[in-house]
Amino acid sequence: MIKLKQTKGFWFSILFAFVLFTIVQIVIANAVINFYFVNMILTMGIYIILAVSLHLIIGITGQFSIGHAGFLAVGAYTSAVFTMKLGQPLWIGLIAGGLAAAIAGMLIGIPSLRLKGDYLAIATLGFGEIVRITFFNIDYIGGPSGMMVSQLTTWPWVFGCMLLTILVIRNFTNSTHGRACISVREDEIAADAMGINTTYYKVVAFLIGSFFAGVGGALWAHNFYIIQPSQFGFLKSFDILIFVVLGGLGSMSGAVIAAILLTLVSMLLTEYPETRMIIYSLILIFTMLYRPRGLLGTKEVTSLFTNRRNKKGGPKDGNTHTVA
Partner 1 sequence: METHTPLLKVEQVGIRFGGLKAVANVNMKLYPGELVGLIGPNGAGKTTFFNMLTGVYVPTDGSIFFKGENLRKQPPYKITKKGISRTFQNIRLFEELSVIDNVKVAYHSLAKHTILSSILRLPNYFSGEKEMDERALEFLKLFNLDQYRDDKAKNLPYGQQRRLEIARALATNPELLLLDEPAAGMNPKETEQLMDLIAFIREKFNLTVLLIEHDMSLVMGVCERIYVLDHGQLIAHGTPEEIRNHPKVIEAYLGEEVS
Residues near partner 1 (CB under 8 A):
2-5, 168, 171-172, 174-180, 182-183, 186-187, 189-198, 204, 250, 298, 310-324
CB nearer partner 1, residue 129 or residue 192: 192
Considering the complex, what minimum distance in angstroms separates the CB of residue 296 from partner 1?
A: 14
- Give yes or no for a contact between 57 and 63, defined as CB atoms under 8 angstroms apart: yes
Considering the complex, what minimum distance in angstroms separates the CB of residue 107 from partner 1?
A: 20
* Residue 295 DSSP code: S
Considering the complex, what minimum distance in angstroms separates the CB of residue 11 from partner 1?
A: 14
Considering the complex, what minimum distance in angstroms separates the CB of residue 172 from partner 1?
A: 5
CB nearer partner 1, residue 34 or residue 320: 320
CB nearer partner 1, residue 6 or residue 145: 6
Q: How far apart are CA 181 and CA 202, in angstroms?
A: 7
Considering the complex, what minimum distance in angstroms separates the CB of residue 5 from partner 1?
A: 8
Q: String of b and e for 7-27 (b: at least 16 CB within 10 Å)?
A: eeeeeebeeeeeeebeebeee
> Angle 117-136/90-112 helices, nearest 10 degrees?
140
CB nearer partner 1, residue 221 or residue 295: 295
- Give yes or no for a contact between 134 and 78, defined as CB atoms under 8 angstroms apart: no
Considering the complex, what minimum distance in angstroms separates the CB of residue 310 from partner 1?
A: 5
Question: What single-letter amino acid sits at 138?
Answer: I
In angstroms, the Cα distances linking 251 to 40, 61, 219 are 24, 12, 24
CB nearer partner 1, residue 46 or residue 204: 204
CB nearer partner 1, residue 84 or residue 101: 101
Considering the complex, what minimum distance in angstroms separates the CB of residue 249 from partner 1?
A: 10
* SS3 label, residue 76: helix
DSSP H helical ranges for the chain: 7-29, 35-54, 68-80, 90-112, 117-136, 155-173, 176-186, 188-193, 198-221, 234-247, 252-268, 276-290, 303-306
- Give yes or no for a contact between 105 and 202, defined as CB atoms under 8 angstroms apart: no
CB nearer partner 1, residue 87 or residue 315: 315
